[in-house]
Chains A and B, each alone.
Chain A
Amino acid sequence: SQTIHQWPATLVQPVGSPLSLECTVEGTSNPNLYWYRQAAGRGLQLLFYSVGIGQISSEVPQNLSASRPQDRQFILSSKKLLLSDSGFYLCAWSVRVASGGLYEQYFGPGTRLTVT
């Protein structure tokens, strides 16, 4: 069965510090990978998605970046955090299909980031 891991579970970082959140998927190959952010009391906002190693698409311009160094590893980074970066970050994976695709996305447990 497939599992998705995220770490750390919680993080408190000062403004201006760097960030690295990691997501790994087990039990599947060539997944699509996604990073979402959820502000308090809000829905999810897609930040980045990836269809393969080194292939990153950004949905929202900001001071965050993403990388996919391995097939089942997805990393969210920042060089200098802002207060507005606080939120709940969720990684998700889905099956990759040739065109379109209506398969559900499965989410990891999330990382709660507080920027102070």
Chain B
Amino acid sequence: AQKITQTQPGMFVQEKEAVTLDCTYDTSDQSYGLFWYKQPSSGEMIFLIYQGSYDEQNATEGRYSLNFQKARKSANLVISASQLGDSAMYFCAMREPGGAGSYQLTFGKGTKLSVIP
């Protein structure tokens, strides 16, 4: 069963506007973590922001914020004041229990964001 769902294959946003990228997840664990990564056309995966399941405040990192709604199991990424350099694929991921001392990330299929000048 799919554990991370990103329902928007592609999104367009006007430069300087805000945009929300959707992510819903499914887990029975009480302790989990949610991550957002950015993948530009060069291919590297860039860590953006993290939200822990017990964090009471929504995570923020500069222009990125995570709208965490635990009861709805959603962890949407909000990018404020979009820039042309924000054009990329964005992946939502969830930590899953791994072996001792480790954990694994399960990724969604991603959303391609295009910023329009």
Contacts and interface: CB of A to CB of B under 8 A. Distances in A.
Contacts, number: 77
B100 A51 contact: yes
A110 B42 CA distance: 9
A100 B109 contact: no
Contact of B103 (A90, A100, A109): A100
Interface stretch (B63-71, B72-80, B91-99): B91-99
A97 B101 CA distance: 5
Interface residues of A, number: 30
Contact of A43 (B50, B98, B100, B107): B107
SS class of chain B's interface: helix, strand, loop or mixed? strand
Contact of A59 (B35, B44, B104): B104
B contact residues, range: 20 to 34
Contacts of A107: 37, 44-47
Interface in A64-116: 88, 90, 92, 94, 96-102, 104-110, 112
A57 B99 CA distance: 8
Contacts of A34: 104
State the 3 A-B residue pairs at the shortest beta-carbon distance, nearest first.
A107-B45, A43-B107, A102-B33
Interface of A: 32, 34, 42-46, 49, 51, 57, 59, 88, 90, 92, 94, 96-102, 104-110, 112
A101 B43 contact: no
Contacts of B101: 32, 51, 96-99, 101
Interface of B: 4, 31, 33, 35, 37, 42-47, 50, 52, 91, 93, 95, 97-110
Residue in B42, B43, B50, B97 with the greatest tally of chain A CB atoms within 10 Å: B43
Given A99-B101, A107-B46, A112-B43, 7 more contacts: A42-B109, A43-B109, A57-B102, A96-B102, A100-B97, A100-B103, A102-B103
9 contacts: A44-B91, A44-B105, A49-B104, A51-B101, A97-B101, A102-B52, A102-B103, A109-B43, A110-B44
